[in-house]
């Protein structure tokens, strides 16, 4: 649960570090963001599947469904905060005098 959120944040941090370093293993920042958004999409679809199986009575318990929903929610909120920081950085750079 928390591991997937940590892997998303670690992937973003690794992209930021490797984009400025010449270590031979450069990661494109946009591809890292795309993979993080794909992971969030997978978490959300997994939560939807658990909710559907809970509603149709196929044996899914409410605790695992709520954990999946909360994990997807936290991941989405983290991605929104990352987006806000990227927009803020863009606005700061665009206001600089060259």
d(CA 96, CA 11): 29
Give the chain's mean pLDDT: 81
Q: For the whole model, what pTM was predicted?
A: 0.65
Segment 35-67, tens digit of pLDDT: 889 999 999 999 999 999 988 988 678 999 999
Residue 93 has what pLDDT?
Answer: 93
What is the per-residue pLDDT across 19-37, written as a single tens digit (0 to 9) for each?
454 455 557 888 888 888 9
Helices (H), the chain: 2-20, 29-55, 62-94
Q: In the chain, how many domains are there?
A: 1
* Structural domain span for residue 31: 2-94
């Amino acid at each position: 649960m928390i591991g997937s959120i940590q892997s998303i944040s670690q992937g973003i941090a690794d992209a930021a570090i490797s984009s400025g370093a010449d270590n031979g293993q450069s990661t494109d920042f946009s591809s890292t963001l795309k993979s993080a958004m794909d992971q969030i999409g997978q978490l959300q679809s997994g939560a939807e599947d658990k909710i559907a199986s809970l509603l149709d009575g196929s044996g899914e318990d409410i605790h695992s469904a709520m954990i999946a929903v909360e994990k997807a929610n936290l991941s989405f909120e983290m991605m929104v905060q990352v987006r806000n920081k990227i927009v803020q950085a863009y606005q700061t750079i665009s206001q600089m005098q060259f």
